[in-house]
Amino acid sequence: MRRTTSVFVLFAVLLAVAAAAFAAAPKGSRANAYRIHTFAGLPQSRGWKLMVNKTVPNATRAIVKWNKYNAPPRAGDQFFMINITLGYSGKGRTSPSGLPRRRFDSPVSPNSFSVVGRSSISYTSITDSCGSVPGALNFGWRVRSGSSVSGNICFSVDKRDVRGLVLKYESVRSLHPKQVFFKLR
């Protein structure tokens, strides 16, 4: 009986320590990622914020069917599609890609995003692209302050990483890049 009680107490202590560590992680960190349907500011982006609207964890069939020129994922991988909204609250009009007519303004681009799974592998739009996707987010759309743009981004990921996948934004045009993470489920 004592042994069972001590095992139970040890388990309770470990659970409390894990809960405290999770609660101590800053909001937007990988351990405490922003929840789906939550707008969060993107660091060093000059007024952009992001919200994950929904995900299609296994979008392989839909993407290959949508464009016959899309290559299927590598063996053991699947296409993971994410619908996001980028809202802008900065000055004037700009595009997420940061290429407005007058000046180089906003550091939000397809290269700012990746997904990270349990294996801690980062899947990027450069090395792990799904190809052409339906409803793709157009990073060239110009929006005015108070407006937003929505669309899909997609990554080819290892099937074993799908369950714990998080979306990572990283400021790419900075000497000291900052990251923020979003849950995908």
Both 169 and 94 in a single domain? yes
Both 42 and 21 in a single domain? no
pLDDT at 174: 66
Q: How many structural domains are present in the chain?
A: 2
- Residue 101 CA to residue 1 CA, distance in Å, equals 75
- Residue 159 CA to residue 53 CA, distance in Å, equals 22
Q: Which CATH number characterizes residue 172's domain?
A: 2.60.40.1240
Question: Quick one: pLDDT band at residue 108, thresholds 50, 70, 90?
Answer: confident
Q: What's the average model confidence in pLDDT over 17-38?
A: 81
Please list, in sequence order, all residues whose beta carbon lies within 8 angstroms of the beta carbon of residue 92, skipping any fewer than 6 positions away: 100, 144, 145
Both 43 and 21 in a single domain? no
End-to-end CA distance of the chain: 40
pLDDT of 51 higher than 80: yes
Per-residue pLDDT tens digits for 123-137: 998 899 999 999 999
The residue among 151, 51, 146, 138 whose CA lies nearest residue 93 is 146
- Residue 42 CA to residue 109 CA, distance in Å, equals 12
Most trustworthy range by pLDDT among 11-15, 42-46, 100-104, 149-153: 149-153
Q: Express as a percent the part of the chain with pLDDT over 70.
A: 81
Both 73 and 39 in a single domain? yes
pLDDT at 65: 92
pTM of structure: 0.81
